[in-house]
Amino acid sequence: MADGSATDKDMITIITEECNGISQDSYDNTIDSIQACQLKCSCGRCGCLVGHGSYTRFVKTALGRIPLAIRRVQCSFCNATHALLLSGIVPYSQVPLVDHAAIASSYENGGSGMEAMDKNPELSPSQVFYIFSLYICLWRQRLLSEHIPLSPAHALTAPGLRCFGRQFMQIKSTRNVLFVPPT
């Protein structure tokens, strides 16, 4: 899979200023504001990504469990496909980045993490415990070693990808390319 074959399923994470309010409209508006020629494939080439369909995933927000149509692009050079994710989305998780960060912050402040359920009633105690455990086992020392603060949540993405090749709290080591939109 590391050779860039057509079976690769990579990601491109697009930095957004805020990670609150994930919705299909905010996702579409952000993706539509980017020209495909600006995106870089994990093979290192720019200008070679073309639309390649979409898939539905769900995100648990304070407004409920919402479906998101995540767009995919494919590299015309190496055939790798990439999901286009906003920085407020944690790969392989239905829980938004802001809630992951709130649960981790709760640990650092002596809490149980369950406080996050007050702001997002879609979270279950088992999800909170799982995120709490992942943070302690896999992410806490990483953040401390690089002096990366947990707040603001939207500022966790870029250092996580640069230092560790993953979005904060991403559990699988799937390739994830950082894209910072021009201002």
* Residue 125 and residue 140 in one domain: yes
- pLDDT of residue 48 exceeding 60: yes
pLDDT computed for residue 166 by the predictor: 92
Query: Are 27 and 101 spatial neighbours (Cβ–Cβ below 8 Å)?
Result: no
- pLDDT of residue 20 exceeding 70: no
The string of DSSP codes covering 18-46 is --S---HHHHHHHHHTS-GGG-B-TTS-B
* Residue 65 and residue 104 in one domain: no
pLDDT computed for residue 51 by the predictor: 93
* Residue 81 and residue 144 in one domain: no
* Residue 74 and residue 138 in one domain: no
The string of DSSP codes covering 95-141 is S-HHHHHHHHHHHHTT--STTHHHH-TT--HHHHHHHHHHIIIIIHH
pLDDT computed for residue 173 by the predictor: 85
In a domain, 1, yes or no: no
Lowest-confidence region among 48-52, 59-63, 177-181:
177-181
Query: Are 43 and 75 spatial neighbours (Cβ–Cβ below 8 Å)?
Result: yes
Q: Which residue has the higher pLDDT, 180 or 20?
A: 180
How far apart CA 32 and CA 106 sit, in angstroms, is 35
How far apart CA 151 and CA 154 sit, in angstroms, is 8
pLDDT computed for residue 1 by the predictor: 37
How far apart CA 131 and CA 99 sit, in angstroms, is 9
Q: Give the tens place of pLDDT for each residue, 161-173.
A: 999 999 999 999 8
- pLDDT of residue 25 exceeding 70: yes
> Binning pLDDT at 50, 70 and 90, where does residue 21 land?
confident
| Total count of domains within the chain | 2
The DSSP bridge partners found for residue 71 are 54
* Residue 103 and residue 147 in one domain: yes
